[in-house]
Structure formats: C-alpha cells, structure tokens
Structure 1
Amino acid sequence: MSDGREPSGMQYSNPVLPGMHPDPTIARAGEDFYLAISSFEYFPGVPLFHSTDLVSWERVGHCLTRDSQLDLRGREASDGIYAPTLRHHDGTFYMVTTDVGGDNGGHFIVTADDPAGEWSDPLYVDAGGIDPDLFFDDDGTAYFQYTDGESLPEYRVRQAEIDLDTGELGDVRQLWRGIEGGFAEAPHIYERDGTYYLITAEGGTHTDHMVTVGRSDDPTGPFEPHPDNPVLSHRGRPMHPLSAMGHADMVQAPDGSWWMVFLGIRQYGPNPGVHHLGRETFLAPVTWEDGWPIVNDGEPIDPEMTVESLPGDSPGGLSSPARPFETTFDGELDDSWQFRRNPDPATYSLSDDGLSLVGKTDSLDELDATFVGRPQSHFDCRAEIDLGFDPDDGEEAGLALVMNESHHYEIGVGREGGETVARVRLRIGEVADEVAAVPVGGEDHRLVVDATTEEYTFRYADGDGEPTELATAATRYLSTEVAGGFTGVYIGPYALGAGTETATPAQVQRFVYEPAE
C-alpha cells in the first residue's frame, strides 16, 4: 500500500527515444553522449542523437548521408543497415555496422572528428555475420567482435584483432556461445578496473530477448558468465507493458555512474499482444556488486523510472521524437525525415513554397515509390498535411502510414476518369482495398490521420475547413506481428503516377505531428 509520499530522486519516462529507434549504441566524449540506431532500408542511414543527461535527446544528423557510403536501391524491407556500434577513441568517432542484402554489403567502418559533421567513406571488413563491435584496449590493440554462424540459432560471438587503417583482421576466435547455446548476438566489450566485460543479446529479438554478461581478465577471454544471467530480460512477464528488452550497450558518465541503453517494445491487445511503433530505445541505471553489473537493481524496467540522479546539469526532458513537430519545409528537410532507400532527385525538390513530390509508380507497393516519412512515436497522435495539388488522370498524392511495401495505409487526393476524389486505401498483405472515396474540388487539401493505440481515423478537409471523417482502420495490421520485419510505422507524404513520372508535382505546404499522450 502506498504511503502517499512522492518517490525521492529524479524521474524520467521510458522509452527515452520512442518510435522506431532500435539497436541503440552509445559513446561518450567528455560531457557529451552520442547515440546511434539501426536504420535498415531507410536513407540517410544510422540516425545520430546527442544528449548531456541520457534522457533528453536531440537528433544531430546521420552517419551515412551519401550514395557513396550506402546504396539501398532495390533492397527488400528490413534489409540494409543492421546494429551499429558507436565508439570514441583518441579524438575520433568510429561507427561500425553491417549492410545486409546488398551486392557490396557486409561490415564496414566510417569515422568522423565531429559526429554532427561529415563521416568518411566506408572501410570494409572481410567477415561474415552481423552486429560488429569495436573495443580499444589500453595497449593500443583494437578488437573486432561480431556474430556469425551457419544459421541464426547457431550464431556465436567471434573476435579478431583489426588493423583500422586497412580493415584487415587477424586470427578469428570464438568468444562466446551464449548461456543457452544459441542466438548470441550484439556483442560489446568494456574494461573496468582491469576486468573485461562482454555483454550480448540472446533469445532472439522478440519476447524472449535478454541481455547476458561475462567477464574475463583478458579481452580475448575466456569469459565467465554472470551467476545471475540474464542481467536484463522481461521474458516470462506477459502482463508487463514493456517487452523484448535486449540488444544493449553501456556507458560510464562523467560522474562515475554507469548506464545501459537497450531496445524494447510496447505491446497492446490480448495476450499475445502486437506492436506497430517498432523497437524503441530504453534507459536504465547500472550498479556494480562483487565485480558484476546489476541493471536497475535487478528490477523490471518500468515506463516511469526513478533514479538518484541523472548525468549533467539538465534534469531531463522530452526526447526529440516526443515533441510536437510542424514544418513548412522552407527549402529544407530537417534530420528527422528519411526516405525508403536512396531518393531519386527527380522526384523530390524543395523551395520556400514547400516540398514538391513527383510520383513515378502507381502504388506504394513498389520499392522506389515516392515517399518520405518520420517514425510514428506515440500511440495517440495526429498527423496532417496541407497539400496543393490539382492532379491529372492517374495522379495521386497524400499522407501515408508505411510499415513496408505490403502493409501500408494512405489517404490521398487523386483523379480518375476526369473526377478528383479524396480516397482512403489499405494494403494488408495480399489484400488491397479502397475503403472510402468522395468527390472533391479545388487545389487546396488538408489530409489528417488521428491515431489511437488500436485505430487510425482518416479525415479530409477542402482547404483549411473542418476535417470530415472518411474511414477508420485497425493499427494491428501494420504491426510487426502481422507485417513481419524489424521496422515500425513511418508517417509522411507520398505521390503516385500511372507508372511514369507525373506531370503535376504535388506541393506539400505544411506537415504537422502532434502527440496526444
């Protein structure tokens, strides 16, 4: 029973980066923390965030912004950039990751003096598998850890010394096979007081996900497993609002405290639940007992956390995706926007009048459809666009919710047979249906999506009038459990043609995203 007193200490909310922010990795430079995440088929690749308190994060750019660094054209959904590791050593930032599914894919490293600036072209590393890691020992040796195996259940953590000038590896050794003998991935090595620690993810990346730890007197092992492994997991807690905790990275703050960032999901609905916001980034404190890390005092991770203090002078605040967002574009796209694969310059342009889109496919089912979006970061929210568009026959533009090419919803304005209509279309796997269509006039359109945990409501207004409801659709059909893959729902404008580039550009004059939570 509560005694009515407020909890002492400092409070923050989990996830600290809501919406699709998976596989977090963190590095510290002085008083500053930098965090990077997986981006899969989205471009630019590897979004990058900055914080001084580990709770309030600001996006500062991407590590992979040029076609010479990353070519995602033709990739299937959930291929592309997997599980980066971000490190800072001797004044240089290193980001190592895996490009999955491409002809020239595999592990590679990019570097930068300023993480918010330009990053180098890739230095490729000849090794199989996924989830690479870099560890710099005090004697100057650099170690490369990664996960590899004949099949995912047989994945093991492997290690070799690496020459960071050439990318060449020394002799490869097996480092860790996992406490359950399989699914060992996402390795990271740390040194503390002369002892080396290896953390890995195991159990797959869904509800059996967990974080395990080993320690050794040498970075090459052998690693003794933590007596209380896993040190973090919500497996076996089907009624907890947070699930799939795993894929972690640790950092020591300037005040000496230790922290862990990791992914998790927020499911809803009957057990087993579903989630459509993707895998999100969570934060928990780490303490040390008998030379072992203890995550959150061994307790489950909650949506509202209380800690003794946070690093830095800031008391914490809203992360960048948690804030309301409005733009009239004004000649630029800010760093929160991403394309599905490398954009075709012929289909996107910016001016002081807004974002101009040219459609070249007849549906969003195509890999190179014209679409630019931001992660949906809240269950309850509103997204809307003001669209200037007088389409010719076969042309359409509007606002879309995209999980992948076979699972997406859109509300748009198009013209068929000489009539302009506002329509709502749903694609759920093999089934596509136009669930609403009403005649509209003029060139000024407002398209609105109101979201709750379990439902999207689509509304249309002529100009800046009051939006009228056209249709509703269940969120669950855009969930990972239905659609598959590793991403979450993105929201943003799109344009379609009749299989060729449209003659009439769609002018997106304004975009608004408003959390209702």
Structure 2
Amino acid sequence: MPPPPRPAGRPANPVIPGFHPDPSVCRVGDDYYLACSSFEYFPGVPLFHSRDLVHWTQIGNVLDRPEQLRLPAATPSSAGIYAPTLRHHDGRFHLIVTHCGEGGGNLIVTATDPAGPWSDPVRAPGVPGIDPDLVWEEDGTCWCTVAGVAQVRIDAGTGQTYGAPRPLWSGRPGAKAPEAPHLYRIGAYWYLLIAEGGTERGHAVSIARSRTPTGPFEPCPANPVLTHRGTDHPVQNTGHADLVQGPDGSWWMVLLGVRPGGGTPGWHVLGRETFLTPVTWVDDWPVVGDVSPDLPELPWPLSPGPVEARRDDFECAELRPSWISLRDRPAAHCTTGERPGWLTLRARGGSLDAPDVVFTGRRQQHLACRARVLADPSQGRGGLAVRLDERHHYAIEASGTEVRVLARVGPLSTVVATRPVPAGPLVLTVTITPAPPDAQGPCAGPDVVSLGVEDPGGAFTALAALDGRYLSTEVAGGFTGRVIGMYAAHGAVHFDWFDYEPLDG
C-alpha cells in the first residue's frame, strides 16, 4: 500500500525526488541553486532554485544547446554527463562537469543568470578523471580537485592548468572509489569532503582538513562522517555530498541516496535522489544529522512549494525544462510546431532497443504514480514507455488498430499482450504501484508496472502487470533511474497531452 499522506507543511526527504544524483549546491544571498548529473539525456545538467533548501523548482538545464553538448548515438547508457560542481565567484556562476564519451573530458561553463543562457564550454584538457571541483583562494588562485583525489591549479576562464595534478588525500585506507571531492574554506581550516566506498550500499562521506588548500590534510577521527551501510535505514547508498551555509549561519548537506524496496537485496527504481540533512560542528569537525524521510524543523520559514505542472498540453514552442530526450533533440524528430497543441515525434531508431530511438520523457519521481498520454499513431507506430536503458524497458505501443505491451529485460524481448482498438487517437496508460501485501517476503519485487489503454468512453483495460524489479539499478546496473515518456518507432506519432499523477501522497 502507498505510505500515508505526510502532514501538511512537514518538510520531506528527498527534497528533489527521482533520478537527480550527484547534487552540487551554492548560495547567493537568499537564493540557493543546485545542479545534478544527467548522463545520456539531453538537455544536460538540470538546474534548480530554492529559497529554503526544501522546495526546489527547476529553472532550466545548463547544457541545453547542441553546440554545448553532443551525445552521439554511440554514447552508452549511463555515460555522458557526470557530477557537476556549481559555484559562484566574482559575480558569475561557474559549473565544471565531466563529459564521459566521444569528444568529452572536463568542461567549464559560466553564466551571470543561472537560468541561462550559459556559455559555450571551455575545455580543461589538463584536468584528469571525473568529478571536478572548483574553489578560489582570497587572492583569486583557483584550484581544481578531482576524483582520486588529486588537485591542479587552473584558470577557470580559459581551462588552462598550471603544473601536473598532485595527490591530496584519498580517504580511509582500503576504501574504494575516492571521488566527488569538494574543497571549502570554513573558519581557520580548508576542508576536503569526499565520497568513498562506491556508489552502492557501501557509499560513505569522509572529510579531512588542512591549514592550506594544498594540504597536508588531517583526516577526521570520526570518518566516515556519514554512511548507512549495514543498516536497515530506509535511505541507502548515501554519499556524493556538498555543503552549504544558511543565512543564519547554520550548515546543511545535500547528498544522493536511494530508497530500495521489495525483498533481498532490495531494488531501487527511481535512481539516486537528492536528500538534505543538517550539519553541526564539534571541535571544528562536521557532525552530520540523520538523513531521514522527515526533515527536522528548519531555522527559517518555508517558502510555498512549487506548483507542479503535472499535465502538459504541448501548447508552447519549447518543451518545459523537465522534459529530457535520449542523447539529442533535433527539431526534425521532436517538435510542437508541426501540429499546434501536439508534440510530434518522428522515428529514427526502430525500437526502444535502439540507441537512436526518438524518446522524450520525464523522470519518475514517486514510488506510486500514473502516467497517461493521448496518442495519435495514424501515421506511424509508438507509444508510452517506462525506460531504464536500451536493455531494460516496458512499453505500451500503438499502431493502426492494435496496441501491444512490450517488455525488454536484458537479452530477452517479448510481446506480452495485444489488443485491437478503434482507429484514431487513444489514451495509453502506465500505472506504478507498490507490490501487493500478499507478495511479500525475500523474493518480493519493489513494485508493479501496469500498462493499458482507455477506450473512447473512458473505460480502462489493463493489458499487463509486470514486476518492476527488472527496471531497477540492481538488475540493470548503471547510474540512472526510470524515465517515463513517449517514443516513435516508425513514421510519425502525435501526442496531444501527457499527464503524470502521483499516487503516494
């Protein structure tokens, strides 16, 4: 059963639900801004604004032009754009990020307005590896720190580096994957915050300090300062954190985590989400609060939550920033201009199995939800899909006078069900609900994905109810979460509206 509704006004974690990993945050005056990884999806790097650290509104995407971000069809799922760091310095926003793919490397973009436009990327070929961070000393010297953990001096305007990267501090002895470094000047010390243990159940946050930004660094005796490994906490994989100070002097941490469900080993299906937790300081070391589904009372008033636009009638020339497409979005294949009030998708790849399939969707952000779309497949074939990657997806597809449910799980692809339908537009539906109470135990899946169609009179027919575990990271691997959206596999398919409805309170 869905969890009971949360009391009105109670702040809740995750503060940005769904596939929003690797958060990086900065504050400018009374405003907070936050960026996340986007991997193989375009536009890249979703950007959010908040006045209270709890309610976040997406105001754009940093890499929203083809000349900023090219993701060829050969870009594998879970490659692409990794781990941005967002900072404000000398009146400008700076974002440094890793492009893992053809023509990639570490890139820097800047803007005076975080809503955009952002500059074309400046490449930083002297910065190795992934997860780059930027920090400035008072005299303007800029340092870039990367996973490993290594550091090099950089000109953030040109991308030029000075000297070879040198090692700093790589976390606890024996801990794997020291990454996601962030360097801060706080009081008398420079603090180096890192993730370690891998981004799975062993994920953790550790910290060290130094009197200078170049070290040597003294590790915190309480490391890791945050981890949920080996616990039954409902939030797992906690790590990849960033610190921010509130206007009242309090400190806060944003981080990624997951909400696994079902039996053993537990499957998380929404991807890694952005959580918030308070930080206090004891003997000049941070003490991290509980990453709870219920946030503590904040020391300032909460702003009104954003009004979520759950239905889109495609009446605007540009898609809302929450819409993401696979690898690119050329107007020849995705447009609202061909038929007014409709989104038209023109096929390129022949199915959801193809890396160049034309697919546009939104992140699944609730453990229970329903998505509906009015589709006109009279000129082609396509439909509504729940996608994790090319090898893991479910779809209800319409073509002429037939609909069918398709399932792809690893090397296996099958038509699950078919049904004749009248010619013309029809409503395709996906409903995702937790596993029923009679399907509990160590082998129970996390949820059920039901796919069906509505007839012209509004009656709904479910064609299939599929186990959601096969669209989870624990099955598919990778770094992303589910995306629910529309696709075209042949010809042109037109979509009049899309509606997304949370069902879990």
TM range (shorter): over 0.9
| AA partner of residue 378 (structure 1) | H
Relative distance call for 1:380 and 1:488 in structure 2 (3 A) is same
Alpha-carbon offset, residue 11 of structure 1: 4.1
**Residue 369 of structure 2 aligns with which residue?**
381
Does the residue aligned with 1:170 lie in a helix, a strand or coil?
strand
- What's the TM-score once normalised by structure 2's chain length? 0.92
User: What letter corresponds to residue 187 of structure 1 in structure 2?
Assistant: P
Opposite residue 213 of structure 1, the aligned amino acid is I
2:296 is the counterpart of 1:306: yes
1:138-153 to structure 2, matched below 5 A, reads 138-147=138-147
Task: Determine the structure 2 residue equivalent to 1:41.
Answer: 40
Matched, 1:426 2:412: no
Alpha-carbon offset, residue 317 of structure 1: 5.7
* Other-structure match for 1:475: 468
What value does the CA root-mean-square deviation take over the aligned residues? 1.5
Rounded Cα–Cα distance in structure 2 between residues aligned with 1:348 and 1:274: 33
Q: Is the 8 A contact 2:142 2:154 kept in 1?
A: yes
Query: In structure 1, what is the Cα distance between the partners aligned to 2:262 and 2:91?
Result: 47
Map of 1:77-96 to 2, 5 A cutoff? 77-96=77-96
Q: Distance in 2 between matches of 1:481 and 1:318?
A: 32
* Structure 1 position 412 matched with structure 2 position 397: yes
The equivalent residue for 1:364 is: 352
User: What's 1:153 paired with?
Assistant: none
Match of 2:428 among 427, 447, 467: 447
Picking from 220, 226, 230, the partner of 2:224 is 230
**Residue 344 of structure 1: CA displacement?**
3.0
Match of 1:508 among 490, 495, 499: 495
Partner Cα distance (2:113, 2:330) in 1: 28
Structure 1, unpaired ranges of 5+ = 1-6, 148-155
Residue 197 of structure 1 deviates from its aligned partner by: 0.5
C-alpha distance in 2, partners of 1:162/1:356?
45
For each residue in 1:458-501, what CA deviation from the matched residue of structure 2 results, as whole angstroms up to 9, or x when unmatched? Answer: 1201335221111111110000011111000000111111xxxx
Q: What letter matches 2:433 in structure 1?
A: T
Q: Work out which of the residue numbers 312, 329, 343 in structure 2 matches 1:343.
A: 329
CA positional deviation for 1:170:
1.8
Deviation of the 1:308 alpha carbon: 4.6
What secondary structure, in the 3-state scheme, does the structure 1 residue paired with 2:474 have?
helix
SS at match of 1:383: strand
Separation in 1, partners of 2:363, 2:459: 26
Shift of 1:21: 0.3
In structure 2, the partner of 1:205 is 199
Are 2:231 and 1:250 aligned? no
Letter matched to residue 142 of structure 1: C
Q: 2: CA distance between counterparts of 1:180 and 1:263?
A: 23
Write out aligned runs for 1:33-182 (5 A).
33-74=32-73, 75-102=75-102, 104-126=103-125, 127-147=127-147, 156-171=148-163, 172-181=165-174, 182=176
DSSP-derived class of the 1:304 partner: coil
Taking structure 1 as reference, are residues 413 and 223 closer, same or farther at Cα in structure 2, changes over 3 Å only?
A: same
Q: Where has structure 1 moved over 6 Å in runs of 4 or more?
A: none
Deviations 1:66-88 (A, max 9, x none): 11111001211011000000000
1:189 corresponds in structure 2 to 183
Q: Secondary structure at the match of 2:332?
A: helix
The residue aligned with 1:459 is 452
2:171–2:207: 8 Å Cα contact kept in structure 1? no
SS in 1 for 2:469: helix
Give the 3-state SS of the residue equivalent to 1:481 in structure 2.
helix
Asked if structure 2 preserves the Cα contact closer than 8 Å seen for 1:247 and 1:262, the reply is yes
Q: What's the offset of the Cα at 1:138? A: 1.2
Q: Conserved in 2, the CA contact under 8 Å of 1:17 and 1:319?
A: no
1:117 deviates by 1.5
Structure 1 CA distance for aligned equivalents of residues 56 and 157 of structure 2: 32
Helix, strand or coil at the partner of 2:480: coil
For structure 2, which runs of at least 5 residues remain unmatched after alignment? 1-6, 435-446
**1:318 Cα deviation from its structure 2 partner:** 4.6
Does 1:215 pair with 2:209?
A: yes
CA contact (8 A) 2:396 2:405 kept: yes
User: Offset at 1:359?
Assistant: 1.6
**TM-score between the two structures when normalised by the length of structure 1:** 0.90
- Match for residue 484 of structure 1? 477
1 CA distance for matches of 2:35 and 2:68? 16
Partner of 2:341: 353
2: CA distance between counterparts of 1:491 and 1:50?
24
Q: Is contact 2:349-2:355 (8 Å) kept?
A: no
In structure 1, what is the Cα distance between the partners aligned to 2:99 and 2:349?
Answer: 26
CA distance in 1, matches of 2:349, 2:422: 24
Distance 1:73 1:50 in 2: 30
Shift of 1:269: 1.3
The alpha-carbon deviation at position 442 of structure 1 amounts to 2.2
Partners of 1:516 and 1:105 lie apart in 2 by 40
Give, as a single letter, the amino acid of the residue that structure 2 aligns with 1:366: A
Give 2:438's aligned residue.
none
> Do 1:83 and 1:98's aligned partners in 2 also have CA atoms closer than 8 Å?
yes
